[in-house]
Each structure stands twice: as C-alpha cells, then as structure tokens.
Amino acid sequence: MKTIHDMFSTMMTKIQKRDAIENNINDLKHAPEYAQAEIADLRKENEEIKSKHDMAMRKINSLEPDNATMQSMGSK
C-alpha cells in the first residue's frame, strides 16, 4: 500500500511540474505580443513628447525677440 501511495505522490509531483512548465510556455508565447504592445505605447508617447517639445520650442523662439526688446528697454 505504501508503494502505491509513493507512486501516486511521485506522479502528482511530476504533474505539478508539468503544469508549471506549461504555464511558463504559455507566458512565453504571450510575451512577444505584450512587448509589441509596450513598444507601440512607447512610440506613441514619444511622438506626443516630440510634439510638445516642438510646440514649446516654437513658443520660446517667438518670445525671444520680445525678451530682448524688454531687456533693452529696461537697461535704458
């Protein structure tokens, strides 16, 4: 009877290991999809940041002449 119990215990351990391996394989299958989605999100964020940076630079460039004028008026 002990031998049968030991055999079942061994089988259960092997089944649990197999299940863990299957879960890891499934996770690996979905990893590229997740990575591609993350890359797409990062690209979108990067484009938004570039757009905001360009807008800020245009605003700075448009204000620089006013700043120079105000500084020259203040030094008189």
Rounded Cα distance, 33 and 3, in Å: 46
Dump pLDDT digits (tens) for 50-71: 999 999 999 999 999 888 888 8
* Residue that has been written with the tokens 């993350």 in this structure: 38
Verdict on whether the full-model pTM lies above 0.85: no
Residue 76: pLDDT band with limits 50, 70, 90 = low
Q: Write out the two tokens for 17.
A: 């290991």
Dump pLDDT digits (tens) for 5-47: 999 999 999 999 999 999 999 999 999 999 999 999 999 999 9
Rounded Cα distance, 76 and 69, in Å: 11
Q: Write out the two tokens for 74.
A: 């203040």
